[in-house]
Structure 1
Amino acid sequence: MPRPMALFGLLRRRPYERMGFELYGAAVAAARAPEYYATLGVPDTTAGRFELISLHVAVLIRRLRRFADKPAQELAQSVFDAMFSDMDVTIREMGVGDLGVGKRVKFLWEGFHGRAQVYATALDAEDMAGLEAAIARNVWAGQPPPEGSAAALAARAQAMAATLEGQGFEGFAAGQARFA
C-alpha cells in the first residue's frame, strides 16, 4: 500500500510548470504573427506553424540555458515539456489514435531537438548563412523559399535572440517573454 507522502509527490507540480506553459504560450503567440505567412511566405500549414513555433521555442530555450543556473535549467525544461504536452493534445485533436500519438510526438521531439541545436549553434557563432540555410531547409521543407524570405526570417531569429538576451530571469520566471 502506498504511503500518503508518496501520493502527494504524484500530485505536486514542478516549480516552473505554470511559467513554462506561459512562456510557451508567448512563443506560440509570437509565431502566429500574420506577417510570417503573408509577407515571408511561410507555409500556413500544420508543418509551417510547427516550424515557426519550434524556431521561437528553440531561441527561448537557448536564452534560458545561457543563465546556466538550476532554476533557469528547470524553466527551460518546463517550456520544452509544455511544448510537447501541447503537441500531444494537438495530435490527439487531429484524430490520431492513442497508439500513434507516442510515435508522432517522438518524431516531432527528435525534429525539434535537431533544429534547436542547429539554430543555437548558428546563433552562438553569429553564422547568419548557416542559420539562413537551416531555416530555409526546415521551414520550407526542401522547397525553395520565396526570394529573400529565409534571410529575413534568419534576421528575425537573430533579433529575437538579441531581444530575449536583454531580458532578465525574473521576467521569465514570472512567465513573461518579449520576442522581437
Structure 2
Amino acid sequence: MIGIAIRACFGKPAFEIMQQGQTPAGMKNEAFPEKTMIFGLFRKKNNNQAIVDRQYAALTAAARMPEIYERLNVPDTVMGRFEMLSIAMILFFRRTRASATSGQEIAQEIVDAFFQDIDYSIRELGIGDNSVPKRMKKLAGMFYGRLEAYSKAMDTGDAEALAVALQRNIYPETSAPADMTGLAGWMMAAESHLSAVPEEVITTGSVTLPAVA
C-alpha cells in the first residue's frame, strides 16, 4: 500500500516536487538532530509493516482533505500536496518524539517510506543511478528544512511566524502570497489534538488528524 500512496496523493510522479523546493539541500535539522540522516534507513521491521501501512495511509488521507485546498489557501497542485503531506508527517513526527521507542520507530519508518517512494519514482523516470543520491539529498533538505522551521515556530506557539514560514514554502515565487494564518491555526490545533492521543493509538498506527474547523 505504501508503494502507491504518495503517487495517489500527488497524482503524478513524486519526483516532480523536487524541482520546486526553496530549502537548501543538506540543511541541518537542529530541532530533531537525531533524525537528520535518512539514507541507509530504508528498512522495515516485519512486525511493524501493517502498522506503518495503516498510519501512512491515514496521514496521506489527511493531506488530501478537500477543505485544506478549498478553505486554507493551499494550492491543489503537485507541490501543494507535497507540502501538505510533509506537514502531516511533521505533525506526526513531533508527537512521536516524546513516545516510547516503538512509537519513534514507527515514525521513522513512515518517513523512510515517504523517501523510499520518492526514490522509486525517480528511478521509474529513468534517472541514472549516479544522480539519485543527489536528488534525494535535495529532497531531504527540503523536508527537514520545513521540519526545523515549523518546529521553531510551534515550539514557541508563534502562529504568525508559522504562517510566514508556510508562505515562504508554499508560495516561494509569489510576490503577494496567500494568507496562511488559517493553515497555521489548523496546524496548532492539530498539535494540540495529537498531544492528547494515547500511546496505544500511536503503537497501533491509528492516529488521525483533525478536520478543518
TM-score, structure 2 normalization: 0.70
Structure whose CA Rg is larger: 1
The answer to whether the 8 Å contact 1:61/1:76 transfers is: yes
User: Unpaired runs of 5+ in structure 2?
Assistant: 1-42
- Give me the identity figure in percent: 34
* Residue 48 of structure 1, CA deviation: 1.4
Instruction: Give the superposition deviation at 1:107.
Output: 1.1
Which residue in the other structure is 2:74 paired with?
Answer: 42
How far apart, CA to CA, are the structure 1 residues paired with 2:199 and 2:63?
A: 22
Distance across 2 between alignment mates of 1:14 and 1:136:
39
Task: Give 1:28 deviation, angstroms.
Answer: 1.2
- Matches of 1:12 and 1:34 in 2, distance apart? 31
- Cα distance change on mapping 1:25 and 1:106 into 2, 3 Å: farther
Contact 1:119-1:131 at 8 Å conserved across structures: yes
Counterpart code for 1:52: M
- 2:116 pairs with one of 55, 69, 85: 85
Unaligned runs of 5+ in 1: 1-10
CA–CA separation in structure 1 for the residues paired with 2:194 and 2:68: 19
Distance in 2, Cα, partners of 1:29 & 1:138: 21
For the 8 Å contact 1:16–1:173, the answer to whether it is kept is no
Q: Distance in 1 between matches of 2:78 and 2:122?
A: 11
Is the 8 Å Cα contact of residues 30 and 179 (structure 1) preserved in structure 2?
Answer: yes
Distance 1:103 1:22 in 2: 30
Measured at CA, do residues 25 and 102 of structure 1 come closer, stay the same or move farther in structure 2, by a change above 3 Å? farther
Of Structure 1 and Structure 2, which has the larger fraction of its residues in helix? 1
How many residue pairs were aligned?
A: 166
CA–CA separation in structure 2 for the residues paired with 1:157 and 1:96: 37
* 2:160 alignment partner in structure 1: 129
In the TM superposition, what whole-angstrom CA distance separates every residue of 1:4-34 from its partner, at most 9, and x where no partner exists?
xxxxxxx973553442332222111111112
User: Aligned equivalents of 2:74 and 2:44: distance in 1?
Assistant: 40
Between the aligned partners of 2:155 and 2:73, the Cα distance in structure 1 is 26
The separation in 2 between residues aligned to 1:59 and 1:97, in whole angstroms, is 31
TM-score by length of 1: 0.82
Q: Kindly tell me: are residues 123 and 92 of structure 1, through their superposed partners in 2, closer, same or farther at Cα, counting changes over 3 Å?
A: same
Contact 2:44–2:109 under 8 Å retained in 1: no
Question: Which one of the candidate residues 165, 168, 171 is aligned to 1:140?
Answer: 171
Cα distance, 1:135 vs. partner? Answer: 0.8
The equivalent residue for 2:200 is 170
Change (3 A) 1:65 1:112: same
* Alignment of structure 1 residues 1-180 onto 2, 5 Å: 13=45, 15-67=47-99, 69-93=100-124, 95-99=125-129, 100-143=131-174, 144-146=176-178, 148=179, 150-180=180-210
Secondary structure in 1 matching 2:207: coil
Aligned to 1:16, what secondary structure does the other structure show? helix
Structural RMSD (CA) = 2.1
Name the CA distance, whole Å, in 2 between partners of 1:22 and 1:109.
23
